[in-house]
Amino acid sequence: MSTPERLIESTRELLWERGYVGTSPKAIQQRAGAGQGSMYHHFSGKPDLALAAIRRTAEELRAAAEERFAAPGTAVERVTAYLRREREVLKGCPIGRLTQDPDVMADPVLRAPVDETFAWLRARIADVLAEGRDRGELDAGLDPADTASTVVAVLQGGYVLARAAGSEEPFRRAVDGVLGLLAAHTTTGHRAD
Amino acid sequence: MSTPERLIESTRELLWERGYVGTSPKAIQQRAGAGQGSMYHHFSGKPDLALAAIRRTAEELRAAAEERFAAPGTAVERVTAYLRREREVLKGCPIGRLTQDPDVMADPVLRAPVDETFAWLRARIADVLAEGRDRGELDAGLDPADTASTVVAVLQGGYVLARAAGSEEPFRRAVDGVLGLLAAHTTTGHRAD
């Protein structure tokens, strides 16, 4: 890995483990095995590195999601595959967790990729659901945009409930519940799984 | 307010503003206008005060929710009233936020009231939905326990999306979406609002 890559990866790990305020430039340099001069050669400082780290995490999240949305199958099958994909439930969502980092939320530049990621997810799921409705898989009464926000909220809230319980069980139930609700809107009335 | 009351209220405010690690016994005493001797006369220390503060917040949350669940009306009307009650969306949920406080989550005694609050909420909403199903308001295919987890997750995830967007809009949409999904399971097929 190149030095800028190592610096970005170290910043991602530290942001995850310690949050923005707990991530010092020195700790980033030490973990990356890079000197101070090298860090400031590639990045203007901690905010610049944090932005690169958050963007990288957001890109990975989008790519993993898009893999399910672009797969063949009905709208409900694709949303089901997205909701059921393997996740480290008790660790939580690396993007969702940033909404609880006061320093990230207070900085419009650092908040932007967090906001954009959720806006993209909601819009992309709305597209998938609208496609399903247009194809006659889902009934005309379903609101794609509202339902997409519900799907994303179920995941993010499922992580909160799992952490509170110290168990993946409430996350799984919340996902099963929204898929059960969605099943009543399919023209066949069957669950996708 | 009595001294123990002032100490509990000050601890609640500080936990909310600064988290567990940022809440010092000295700051609690200063905000409460109480001396160190007085604090240790009423409470064994910061963990004891934090437990009292978290329990108080949990009790208030339960009481506000129970007001909607115990009200007259159909199951969907009561769940709708709960989801639509006035909330400070951008501030977030004082109990949900504790799941992001590593010190609270690492201590089984402090985590217990957080876990119990969500377990109670899920069980109570499951009861309301089961009652609606038994009364013939909701179709037999609805799983009350899974759906209840979905409802609680939508709220918690709605807060996450609202913070990311800096707007209540995604929270409102996620709530509208789950109510729209639920409407297809009512035997009348109509939204409660």
Interval A111-145: pLDDT, tens: 999 999 999 999 999 999 999 999 999 999 899 99
* pLDDT higher at A1 or B25: B25
> Could you tell me if A74 lies within 8 Å of chain B, comparing CB atoms?
no
Beta bridge partners of A186: A138
Q: Phi and psi (nearest 5°) for B76?
A: -65, -35
A145/B100 CB distance under 8 A: no
In 3D space, the residue among B52, B45, B48, B46 whose CA is nearest the CA of residue B22 turns out to be B46
- pLDDT-derived band at B134 (thresholds 50, 70, 90) equals very high
Round to whole Å and give the CA distance between A75 and B7.
53
Q: Report which DSSP code applies to B186.
A: B
pLDDT higher than 90, residue B189: no
Best residue in A105, A117, A149, A185 for a mutation probing chain B (most B CBs within 10 Å): A149
Are B136 and B187 in contact by the 8 Å Cβ rule? The answer is yes
Phi-psi domain of B126 (left: phi exceeds 0; alpha: psi -120 through 50; beta: other): alpha
pLDDT higher than 90, residue B35: yes
Q: Which residues of B touch A98 (CB under 8 A)?
A: 164
Secondary structure (H, E, C), chain A: CCHHHHHHHHHHHHHHHHCCCCCCHHHHHHHHCCCHHHHHHHCCCHHHHHHHHHHHHHHHHHHHHHHHHCCCCCHHHHHHHHHHCCCCCCCCCCCHHHHHCHHHHHCHHHHHHHHHHHHHHHHHHHHHHHHHHHCCCECCCCCHHHHHHHHHHHHHHHHHHHHHHCCCHHHHHHHHHHHHHHHCCECCCCCCC
B161/A146 CB distance under 8 A: no
Q: Which residues of A touch B178 (CB under 8 A)?
A: 150, 178, 181
> Could you tell me if B119 lies within 8 Å of chain A, comparing CB atoms?
yes
Minimum CA–CA partner of A170 in chain B? B149
* Structure confidence at residue B149 (pLDDT): 98
Are A174 and A163 in contact by the 8 Å Cβ rule? The answer is no
> Could you tell me if A68 lies within 8 Å of chain B, comparing CB atoms?
no
* Structure confidence at residue A1 (pLDDT): 87
CB atoms within 10 A of CB A55: 16
For residue B77, CA distances in Å to A160, B4, B154 come to 26, 39, 17
Round to whole Å and give the CA distance between A57 and A65.
12
Residues of chain A with pLDDT under 50: 192
* Structure confidence at residue A17 (pLDDT): 87
Percent of chain B with pLDDT over 70: 97
* Structure confidence at residue A184 (pLDDT): 87
> Could you tell me if B153 lies within 8 Å of chain A, comparing CB atoms?
yes
HSE value, Cβ hemisphere, 13 Å, CA-based, for B4: 10
pLDDT in tens, B77-99: 999 999 999 899 999 999 999 99
> Could you tell me if A157 lies within 8 Å of chain B, comparing CB atoms?
yes
Q: Phi and psi (nearest 5°) for B186?
A: -80, 150
Residue type, A61: L
* Structure confidence at residue B15 (pLDDT): 93
Q: Count interface pairs A-B at CB distance under 8 A.
A: 180
* Structure confidence at residue B102 (pLDDT): 87
In sequence order, the 6+-apart residues with CB closer than 8 A to the CB of A2 are none
Q: Report which DSSP code applies to B142.
A: -
Round to whole Å and give the CA distance between B116 and A93.
23
How many angstroms away from the CA of A87 is the closest CA of chain B? Answer: 16
B141/A180 CB distance under 8 A: yes
Q: Report which DSSP code applies to B147.
A: H
* Structure confidence at residue B190 (pLDDT): 52
pLDDT higher than 80, residue B30: yes
Q: Provide the mean pLDDT of chain A.
A: 94
Please report the sign of the dihedral spanned by the C-alpha atoms of residue B69, residue B168, residue A168, residue B139.
Answer: positive
* Structure confidence at residue B2 (pLDDT): 95
* Domains of chain B with CATH codes: 1-43 (1.10.10.60), 54-183 (1.10.357.10)
B166/A119 CB distance under 8 A: no
Which position has the token pair 């503060």? B53
pLDDT in tens, B143-185: 999 999 999 999 999 999 999 999 999 999 999 999 999 998 8
CA A54: distance to chain centroid? Answer: 11
Round to whole Å and give the CA distance between A4 and A101.
24
Q: Which residues of B touch A95 (CB under 8 A)?
A: 164
A150/B174 CB distance under 8 A: yes
CB atoms within 10 A of CB A148: 25
Q: Which residues of B touch A173 (CB under 8 A)?
A: 122, 145-146, 149-150
Minimum CA–CA partner of B98 in chain A? A164
How many angstroms away from the CA of B191 is the closest CA of chain A? Answer: 11
